[in-house]
Amino acid sequence: MSERAKAVATVQLDTDKVIVTEWRFAPGAETGWHRHGMEYVVVPVTDGELLLETPEGERRAPLLLGQSYTRQIGTEHNVINPCAHEVAFIEIELKSS
């Protein structure tokens, strides 16, 4: 079994309140399994779809340009781009005050 390419994460801003990261996924790229230590907001910068591998199983989530969504602390998953084109989003992690 071949390994997937890794998604490219570029931290754009890291302050005492937030971390802003641009995520870019080539076709088939993944984040690798991880657990979020902060609540976060996702702002899609492309349309597309994400394949989420979670402890509860796989699910697909649409990415709609400019339609933000949020996830809670403790979210655990591997995020994969199943599309034939690059997908990207901005992730804004909210640090505790």
Greatest distance between any 2 Cα atoms in the chain: 44
How far apart CA 51 and CA 81 sit, in angstroms, is 6
For residue 74, pLDDT beyond 70:
yes
State pTM to two decimals: 0.92
Confidence band, pLDDT 50/70/90 cuts, at residue 97 = low
3 lies in a domain?
no
Output the CA angle 36-11-47, nearest 5 degrees: 75
51 lies in a domain?
yes
| Domain that residue 83 falls in | 8-94
Task: Tell me which residue has tokens 């990261």.
Answer: 21
**What is the total count of domains within the chain?**
1
18 lies in a domain?
yes
1 lies in a domain?
no
The mean predicted confidence, pLDDT, of the chain is 95
21 lies in a domain?
yes
Task: Confirm if 4 and 80 have CB atoms less than 8 A apart.
Answer: yes
Task: Tell me which residue has tokens 């902060």.
Answer: 38
What type of residue sits at position 21?
T
Task: Confirm if 82 and 60 have CB atoms less than 8 A apart.
Answer: yes
CATH value at residue 52: 2.60.120.10
Give DSSP secondary structure letters for 49-61: EEEEEETTEEEEE
Q: For residues 85-93, give the mean pLDDT.
A: 98
Tell me the β-bridge partners of 44.
Answer: 89
